[in-house]
């Protein structure tokens, strides 16, 4: 790589004159685009969704952590939402933040491949390409690099290439994109310098690692760690209930230990993109590349996937104790999202619980103040009103969204199954998970 190419890119980053393209304007890409616009870059936000682009162009956000005022300010600063691949040309920095789902247990990297092909058509010498989408170790070098090099340019020789795992936590008011340390990597020394410079202009601290594969593994390690430990407390919760021991009190007591313990809590299952999917990327890579099974991930998958069934069994047991059958019972489920304070309901355990209960003949009504009703046409949506609470044979608290009327639920519900220990500080008739 010509030293002048790196010096030129670093200067444009330092002066905020670099043209930055963010491919994917979802929960990861939109906050990144807003932050880049905030610090002064010319930002193009690319997304294939017509609705998303129209919404952003009108100054409206569909991501809870990003307000309409932020979008409006970004538009005034030159932020340009688009779905036209021609707008990707002439960039200095491009970041890929597209989804990476699993299909029948196999990683689907189609969106990365398509983004890489779009980038290659407009790639110019001296530009930086960064991948943020969660994937298995080796993707940046083995999959993305050859696609980009169809441009006729060579990574590490003509352009810079790196990987930086996203660490967006929807609904987290304490840790933002800017305040969360950012792991960065580069294909070569020049790429790493470019990655450190770009992300260093966006966040308070960057953490460089030796290679893209190390950075890719870092992301999977973080989520596999959470997945395995959540599975541990989920299985403990099942056994503790059978032993008539309060798992929540035990967790509180264990959390007083100032070393050697980290608090994790049980729940009705795991959701979102990260926990149900990311560890399986690592397990798939280990088995395909090394021929070994990643038994910890397989066991954690089994435990966490079983939790919706366990919740349903607890519902049946509680109704039976009241002399009521599940068939014909009126149930109020609180929460569709996979976690509190977000509208993201990808892979949410709530959907599995609803399906299982309806298959048993229950009349299921669902309240979620954040997930748009038009995204869930087959689900009976209601408000969490006093009438709905009183009319339910059983209220199942799945997600402890802010502003849920916990006092009213505790006082007026006939029976409650609280899967999040949200009602700990009030008296209620029912059980915690």
In angstroms, rounded to a whole number, what is the distance separating the alpha carbons of residues 268 and 382? Answer: 21
- Cα–Cα distance, 311 to 357 (Å, whole number): 10
Q: What are the two backbone dihedrals, phi and then psi, of residue 42, each rounded to the nearest 5 degrees?
A: -80, 115
Alpha-carbon gap, residue 37 to 177, rounded angstroms:
13
Please list, residue by residue across 78-98, b when 16 or more beta carbons sit within 10 angstroms of its beta carbon and e when fewer do: ebbbbeebebbeebbbbbbbb
Backbone angle region of 87, left / alpha / beta, with phi > 0 → left and psi within -120 to 50 → alpha: alpha
DSSP annotation of 144 reads: I
Answer for the pair 46, 22: CB distance below 8 angstroms, yes or no: yes
- Catalytic positions are 274
The partner residues of 300 in beta bridges, in order of sequence, read none
Exposure string over 358-378, b if 16+ CB within 10 A, otherwise e:
eebebebbbbbebbeeeebee
* CA–CA distance, 429 with 356 (Å, rounded to integer): 24
A 10 A CB-CB count for 325 gives: 13
Cα dist from 401 to 256, 273, 311, 334, whole Å: 26, 19, 19, 9
Quote the tokens at residue 257. Answer: 């230990």
């Amino acid at each position: 790589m010509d030293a002048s190419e790196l010096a030129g890119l670093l200067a444009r980053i330092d002066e905020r004159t670099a043209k930055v393209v963010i491919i994917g304007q979802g929960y990861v890409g939109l906050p990144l685009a807003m932050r880049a616009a905030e610090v002064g870059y010319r930002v193009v936000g690319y997304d294939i969704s017509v609705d998303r682009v129209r919404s952003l162009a009108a100054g409206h956000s569909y991501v809870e952590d990003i307000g309409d005022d932020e979008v409006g300010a970004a538009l005034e600063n030159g932020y340009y939402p688009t779905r036209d691949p021609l707008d990707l040309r002439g960039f200095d920095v491009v970041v890929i933040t597209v989804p990476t789902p699993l299909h029948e247990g196999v990683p689907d990297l189609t969106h990365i491949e398509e983004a890489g092909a779009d980038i290659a058509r407009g790639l110019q010498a001296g530009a930086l390409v960064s991948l943020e989408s969660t994937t298995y170790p080796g993707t940046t070098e083995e999959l993305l690099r050859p696609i980009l090099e169809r441009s006729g340019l060579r990574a590490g020789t003509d352009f810079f290439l790196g990987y930086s795992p996203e660490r967006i936590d929807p609904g987290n008011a304490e840790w933002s994109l800017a305040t969360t340390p950012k792991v960065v990597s580069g294909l070569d020394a020049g790429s790493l310098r470019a990655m450190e410079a770009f992300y260093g202009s966006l966040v308070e601290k960057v953490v460089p690692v030796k290679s893209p594969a190390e950075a890719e593994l870092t992301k999977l390690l973080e989520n596999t760690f959470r997945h395995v430990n959540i599975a541990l407390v989920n299985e403990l919760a099942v056994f503790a209930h059978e032993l008539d021991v309060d798992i929540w009190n035990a967790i509180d007591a264990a959390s007083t230990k100032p070393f050697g313990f980290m608090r994790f809590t049980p729940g009705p299952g795991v959701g979102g993109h990260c926990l149900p999917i990311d560890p399986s990327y690592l397990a798939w890579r280990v088995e395909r590349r090394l021929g070994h099974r990643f038994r910890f991930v397989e066991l954690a998958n089994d435990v966490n996937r079983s939790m919706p069934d366990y919740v349903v069994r607890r519902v049946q047991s509680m109704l039976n104790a009241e002399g009521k059958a599940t068939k014909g019972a009126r149930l109020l489920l609180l929460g569709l999202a996979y976690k509190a304070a977000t509208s993201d309901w990808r892979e949410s355990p709530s959907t599995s619980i609803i399906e299982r209960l309806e298959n048993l003949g229950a009349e299921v009504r669902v309240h979620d103040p954040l997930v748009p009703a038009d995204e869930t046409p087959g689900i009976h949506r209601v408000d969490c009103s006093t009438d709905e609470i009183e009319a339910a044979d059983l209220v199942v608290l799945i997600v402890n969204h802010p502003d849920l009327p916990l006092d009213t639920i505790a006082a007026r519900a006939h029976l409650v199954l609280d899967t999040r220990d949200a009602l700990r500080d009030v008296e209620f008739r029912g059980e915690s998970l």
